[in-house]
Amino acid sequence: MKARVRILDVYSGRYTVFINENDAKNAKLHPDDLVRIEAGKKTVYGSVAISGVVGEGEIGVSRDVLGLHNFSEGEIVNVMPSGIPESVRYIKKKMHGEKLRKVEIEAIVKDIVDRKLRDIEISSFVTSLEINGLDMDEIAALTVAMAETGDMLDIDRKPIMDVHSIGGVPGNKTNILVVPIVAAAGLTIPKTSSRAITSAAGTADVVEVFADVSFSLDEIKRIVEKIGACLVWGGALNLAPADDITIKSERALSIDPTGLMLASIMSKKYAMGSQYVLIDIPTGKGVKVETVDQARALARDFIELGKRLGQYVEVAVTYGGQPIGHTVGPALEAREALSTLMTGKGPGSLIEKATGLAGILLEMGGAAPSGMGKKMAREILESGKAWEKMREIIEEQGGNPDIKPEEIPIGDKTYTFTASTSGYVTAIDNRAVTGIAKAAGAPEDKGAGIELHVKVGEKVKEGDPLFTVHAESEARLDQAIVLARRTEPIRIEGMVLQRIGNI
Ligand SMILES: O=P(O)(O)OC[C@H]1O[C@H](OP(=O)(O)O)[C@H](O)[C@@H]1O
Ligand SMILES: O=c1cc[nH]c(=O)[nH]1
């Protein structure tokens, strides 16, 4: 049917178009039907909502759909029901545990990017991957399809280094230090990050506290060719566009299927044109990879996938048994990362991990002799060169390079938990810490999160502060307190573990 476009001020995170009830009856359109909208040469897909908000002969276009194509008010378009995409059949093949052919994977990725597949089908696909997985052939096909359905970047500043964590460990602000250290040594590192997937703050969520993270590829090319680095959000770019869409489903289910994680990460590194890639696999209790053996197997997959993409990949298996540093949550982590860069001093775990990863990258990129990378990274951090580079990054990304970390606003609704007995901290439960930070409002509420006053191995006396929850609203704080009481994220044990009575 022909319809006149009306732009509606609706933003729903879904690609909704509004059709008048009578038109819908005549065109046999029903709620949530997929429709093709043809505007000249451009075809866009949307889901139907039936509403009297538009008159007959009109189609209401939401802001989301406007993001796909710049319709103009009053434009005449052709609207027709779109059949069930062929790729749904391939999703069901994966649901039944069958191997997908390259062309089938390409069809799924293309339909995700063209928004022909809706949340329900995408979540089914992600769930099928969680249950049935992908082999290396499928992962390679998925990676290339994800990269090639988006733009690719060609940066004239070689060699191009990159670093990416599979995530999972709370407080993992590490790469916010790694990037300026590596760039301060003269190497190029165009870092893109996703927003939180399973954690309370993805690196993009943290950086957004003190700089813009949404840029076009041309802007990134300009920034990186000028200062050798960036710290941006991959989702804002048309880089592997299927990635941010599938990440939304992963986040809703708080899962990160291995095959999709491999493709998600390597498609972005491939699209950035990164030649030397370091992958961080936090390993331990309560993170995505629990044992070193599993980490080594995953590492081999990353290295193999890199080979198929022409990228040199190394992997660092890192300690993930407890949160990194003392803070979890966007603003709290931003404070800790920036003050560590500014002073060269900070939590041992954060400095150890950041200089360790940066050291490997310096050796991979030929800026440090073999075995000397970590020492060089530490010198770059302690000399203030890393902070100088970070100030350049902040300036180029529209932030205030004279920022004072302690001035970054954090949630002022707080509650501090104290030790109920004396003894030693024997464990900090990663999942509980993430759950409490998210209950407090992170990552959407930038100031929400957790400040840890102790780490594993430290001695505490009864009444000592263990951790403080920060929230931006009393309601959220209460939710977080209830959850903290129930999950007791910090385990204190005296030397007397249990008394078995004479019963
Ligand atoms: O921890 P969760 O949320 O599961 O994983 C997502 C996080 O891991 C990666 O970190 P980095 O950008 O390499 O620092 C992603 O970019 C994202 O920030
Ligand atoms: O960027 C990332 C990080 C972890 N897992 C993913 O799927 N993508």
pLDDT reported for residue 125: 97
Q: How many whole angstroms separate alpha carbon 146 and alpha carbon 354?
A: 29
Calculate mean pLDDT across residues 466-472: 98
- 366 — pLDDT class (breaks 50, 70, 90): very high
| pLDDT above 90: percentage of residues in the chain | 89
CATH of the domain at 461: 3.90.1170.30
| pLDDT above 70: percentage of residues in the chain | 100
Q: How many whole angstroms separate alpha carbon 390 and alpha carbon 184?
A: 9
Question: Mean pLDDT in the chain?
Answer: 95
pLDDT reported for residue 502: 82
CATH of the domain at 270: 3.40.1030.10
CATH of the domain at 9: 2.40.40.20
Can you read off the two tokens belonging to residue 176?
């916010």
**Which residues span the domain enclosing 222?**
161-241+258-405
Is pLDDT above 80 for 143?
yes
Tell me the longest C-alpha to C-alpha distance in the chain. 86
Candidate list 256, 301, 429, 445, residue with the active-site label = 256
Based on the fold, state whether residues 400 and 483 are members of the same structural domain: no
Q: Which of 350, 382, 405 is the last residue of a domain?
A: 405
Lowest mean pLDDT: which of 159-168, 205-214, 241-250, 476-485? 241-250
Based on the fold, state whether residues 67 and 96 are members of the same structural domain: no
Based on the fold, state whether residues 398 and 352 are members of the same structural domain: yes
246 domain-assigned: no
Backbone phi, then psi, for 243, in 5-degree steps? -65, -50
- Asked if 428 contacts 417 with a C-beta cutoff of 8 angstroms, the reply is no
Based on the fold, state whether residues 387 and 283 are members of the same structural domain: yes
| pLDDT tens readout for residues 70-111 | 999 999 999 999 988 999 999 999 999 999 999 999 999 999
- Backbone dihedral region for residue 76 (phi beyond 0: left; psi -120 to 50: alpha; all else: beta): beta
Based on the fold, state whether residues 224 and 320 are members of the same structural domain: yes
Instruction: Enter the pTM of the model.
Output: 0.89
Per the structure, the count of domains in the chain is 4
- Asked if 494 contacts 429 with a C-beta cutoff of 8 angstroms, the reply is no
Count of other CB atoms within 10 angstroms of residue 310: 8
Can you read off the two tokens belonging to residue 421?
């007995």
Is pLDDT above 80 for 499?
no
116 domain-assigned: yes
295 domain-assigned: yes
Closest ligand to residue 206's CA: 1
Q: How many whole angstroms separate alpha carbon 64 and alpha carbon 51?
A: 17
Active-site residue, 154 included: no
Cα–Cα nearest to 353, from 391, 317, 300: 317
- Nearest protein Cα to ligand 2, atom 2: 265
Q: How many whole angstroms separate alpha carbon 306 and alpha carbon 285?
A: 27
Is pLDDT above 90 for 235?
no
- 254 — pLDDT class (breaks 50, 70, 90): confident
> Measuring from each residue's beta carbon to the nearest atom of ligand 1, which residues come in under 6 Å?
164-165, 167-168, 175, 193-194, 196-199, 202-204, 256
Strands 312-319 and 276-283: parallel
- 222 — pLDDT class (breaks 50, 70, 90): very high
Based on the fold, state whether residues 203 and 340 are members of the same structural domain: yes
Q: Which residue has the higher pLDDT, 396 or 118?
A: 396
- 497 — pLDDT class (breaks 50, 70, 90): confident
CATH of the domain at 104: 1.20.970.10
Percent of residues in the chain assigned helix, strand, coil, to nearest 5: 45, 20, 35
| pLDDT tens readout for residues 350-363 | 999 999 999 999 99
Strands 327-328 and 423-428: unpaired
- Provide the β-strand partners of residue 471: 413
Based on the fold, state whether residues 313 and 418 are members of the same structural domain: no
- 237 — pLDDT class (breaks 50, 70, 90): confident
Q: How far is the centre of ligand 2, averaged over its atoms, from the C-alpha of 271 (Å)?
A: 15
Based on the fold, state whether residues 270 and 222 are members of the same structural domain: yes
- Nearest protein Cα to ligand 1, atom 8: 167
Q: How many whole angstroms separate alpha carbon 35 and alpha carbon 79?
A: 7
Q: How far is CA 489 from CA 254, 271, 445, in A?
A: 19, 39, 21
Q: Which of 347, 371, 405 is the last residue of a domain?
A: 405
Peptide bond into 443 cis (omega under 30): yes
Based on the fold, state whether residues 377 and 481 are members of the same structural domain: no
Based on the fold, state whether residues 380 and 436 are members of the same structural domain: no
252 domain-assigned: no
- 253 — pLDDT class (breaks 50, 70, 90): confident
Q: Which of 351, 374, 405 is the last residue of a domain?
A: 405
Count of other CB atoms within 10 angstroms of residue 153: 18
Based on the fold, state whether residues 174 and 299 are members of the same structural domain: yes
Q: What ipTM, to 2 d.p.?
A: 0.97
| pLDDT tens readout for residues 387-434 | 999 999 999 999 999 999 999 999 999 999 999 999 999 999 999 999
Based on the fold, state whether residues 209 and 288 are members of the same structural domain: yes
272 domain-assigned: yes
Q: Which residue has the tokens 């041309």?
A: 218
